[in-house]
């Protein structure tokens, strides 16, 4: 394969030259540098000792973890032999060490005492081998992460952390309802709430999988961007913790005029429910503040030009379930579209909290009731 050298964060890597990213023999998507920037910041904040980049492709993620975070032992794994060989090359490029693979695995001890392991094989097989071994596991697959969740929850320590990406947004957002029922055992919603509901279905699924092992889940930060979902999750050991997380699962209902309602509970009491899905927070304030601080302290570690702006949007966003899309509300209620900034100002002047949301530039997160939101839209008189 023809290779070109690029730089991302503090890593230099060789990536395959290709007309379109999905045609390349080993996958590298520069747009996902924002995902990796936030992941590097998260790993810095969490400070795990042993990290697994379970679906590594070029090795960029694992290499950045070992170059830019305090992680002492970083494993990079891929099932594709071309990817495995490229990761070995990229380790050599960054650390100037030759790694000789033995039986599909190469281990490198760096002069600073850190350890790198490059593995060729199925991620589930590797995670089954390394029972309760990793402090942080990164799942960044093509499509859905569900096929890796059980192994990851057994391979991570009971008070460890997971970084989970899902790129099957069509499934989680209701374009392929049957696939959502099959993979996530959840009813997806279409329309303006589909991205937030999709993210909450993904988290809800991890909560259900984790609960089997008497593990509770803390959402450190979860977001939607560029047609993927990403969640950083902290695990809590104990049946009671698992119960508390399961108690945060529930359902969403939406009326024709856009008014929504959600309720925690095991089974929906009314027809027309979407879910089950996570109805708890999508961020831990202190964690996000730490990411902002780390990002400002080491700007060299930020590879994507939108990372800081996006992180501060996440930081400022009101953390309440769901949001109102001004365009959808206007359409459904015969109102004129009002500027998001204007509607936010009106809601605040009425004494409510209201912010923009990363889910959509035309939407508002607020603790105001539906009627107050309609009022902020000018009640059909235009404004």
Question: By the criterion CB under 6 A, which residues form the site for ligand SAM?
Answer: 27-28, 32, 36, 55-58, 60-61, 77-80, 83, 122-123, 140-142
Q: Is 305 exposed, middle or buried (CB count within 10 Å of its CB: 0-12, 13-18, 19+)? A: exposed
Nearer to ligand SAM (CB atom), residue 142 or residue 266: 142
CB of 135 to ligand SAM, least distance (A): 18
How far apart CA 159 and CA 216 sit, in angstroms, is 9
Determine if residue 115 is labeled as part of a ligand binding site. no
CB of 50 to ligand SAM, least distance (A): 18
Nearer to ligand SAM (CB atom), residue 45 or residue 86: 86
Nearer to ligand SAM (CB atom), residue 51 or residue 83: 83
Determine if residue 105 is labeled as part of a ligand binding site. no
The end-to-end CA distance of the chain, in Å, is 58
Determine if residue 36 is labeled as part of a ligand binding site. yes
How far apart CA 108 and CA 91 sit, in angstroms, is 9
Nearer to ligand SAM (CB atom), residue 92 or residue 141: 141
CB of 338 to ligand SAM, least distance (A): 40
Determine if residue 128 is labeled as part of a ligand binding site. no
CB of 171 to ligand SAM, least distance (A): 16
CB of 124 to ligand SAM, least distance (A): 6
Nearer to ligand SAM (CB atom), residue 6 or residue 383: 6
Other Cβ atoms less than 10 A from the Cβ of 2: the count is: 9
Determine if residue 138 is labeled as part of a ligand binding site. no
CB of 21 to ligand SAM, least distance (A): 10
Nearer to ligand SAM (CB atom), residue 58 or residue 366: 58
Nearer to ligand SAM (CB atom), residue 79 or residue 110: 79
CB of 162 to ligand SAM, least distance (A): 14
CB of 81 to ligand SAM, least distance (A): 10
How far apart CA 65 and CA 71 sit, in angstroms, is 7
HEC states along the chain?
Answer: CCEEEEEECCEEEEEECCCCHHHCCCCCCHHHHHHHHHHHHHHHHHCCCEEEECCCCCCHHHHHHHHHCCCCEEEEEECCHHHHHHHHHHHHHHHCCCCCCECCEEEEECCCCCEEEEEECCHHHHHHHCCCCEEEEEECCCCCCHHHHHHHHHHEEEEEEEEEEECCHHHHCCCCHHHHHHHHCCECCCCCCHHHHHHHHHHHHHHHHHHHCCEEEEEEEEEEECCEEEEEEEEEECHHHHHHHHCCEEEEEECCCCCEEEEECCCCCCCCCEEEEECCCCECHHHHHHHHHHHHHCHHHCCCCCHHHHHHHHHHCCCCCCCEEHHHHHHHHCCCCCCHHHHHHHHHHCCCCEEEECCEEEEEEECCCHHHHHHHCCCCCCC
Nearer to ligand SAM (CB atom), residue 82 or residue 268: 82
Residue 219, φ and ψ in degrees, nearest 5: -90, 110
**Binding site per annotation, positions for S-adenosyl-L-methionine:** 36, 61, 78, 122-123
**Binding site per annotation, positions:** 36, 61, 78, 122-123
């Amino acid at each position: 394969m023809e290779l070109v050298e690029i730089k991302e964060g503090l890593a230099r890597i060789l990536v395959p030259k290709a007309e379109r990213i999905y045609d390349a023999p080993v996958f590298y998507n520069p747009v996902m540098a924002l995902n990796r920037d936030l992941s590097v910041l998260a790993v810095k904040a969490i400070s795990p000792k042993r990290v697994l980049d379970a679906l590594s492709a070029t090795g960029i993620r694992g290499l950045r973890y070992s170059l830019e975070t305090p992680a002492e032992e970083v494993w990079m794994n891929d099932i594709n032999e071309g990817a495995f060989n490229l990761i070995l090359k990229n380790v050599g490029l960054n650390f100037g060490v030759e790694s000789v693979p033995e039986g599909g695995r190469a281990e490198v001890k760096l002069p600073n005492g850190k350890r790198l392991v490059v593995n060729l094989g199925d991620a589930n097989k590797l995670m089954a081998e390394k029972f309760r071994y990793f402090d942080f596991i990164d799942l960044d697959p093509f499509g859905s992460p569900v096929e890796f969740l059980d192994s990851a929850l057994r391979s991570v320590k009971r008070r460890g952390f997971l970084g989970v990406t899902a790129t099957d947004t069509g499934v989680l957002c209701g374009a392929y309802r049957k696939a959502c029922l099959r993979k996530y055992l959840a009813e997806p919603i279409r329309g303006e709430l589909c991205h937030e509901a999709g993210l909450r279905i993904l988290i809800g699924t991890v909560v259900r999988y984790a609960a089997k092992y008497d593990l509770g889940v803390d959402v450190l930060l979860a977001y939607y961007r560029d047609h993927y979902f990403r969640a950083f999750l902290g695990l809590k050991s104990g049946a009671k913790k698992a119960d508390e997380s399961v108690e945060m699962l529930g359902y969403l209902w939406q009326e024709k005029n856009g008014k929504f309602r959600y309720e925690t509970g095991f089974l929906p009491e009314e027809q027309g429910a979407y879910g089950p899905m996570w109805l708890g927070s999508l961020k831990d304030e202190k964690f996000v503040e730490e990411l902002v601080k780390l990002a400002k302290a080491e700007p060299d570690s930020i590879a994507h030009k939108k990372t800081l702006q996006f992180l501060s949007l996440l930081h400022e966003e009101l953390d309440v379930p769901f949001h109102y899309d001004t365009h959808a509300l206007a359409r459904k209620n015969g109102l004129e579209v009002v500027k998001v900034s204007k509607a936010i100002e009106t809601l605040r002047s009425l004494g409510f909290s209201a912010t923009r949301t990363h889910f959509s530039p035309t939407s508002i997160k607020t603790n105001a009731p539906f009627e107050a939101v309609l009022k902020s839209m000018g009640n059909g008189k235009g404004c």
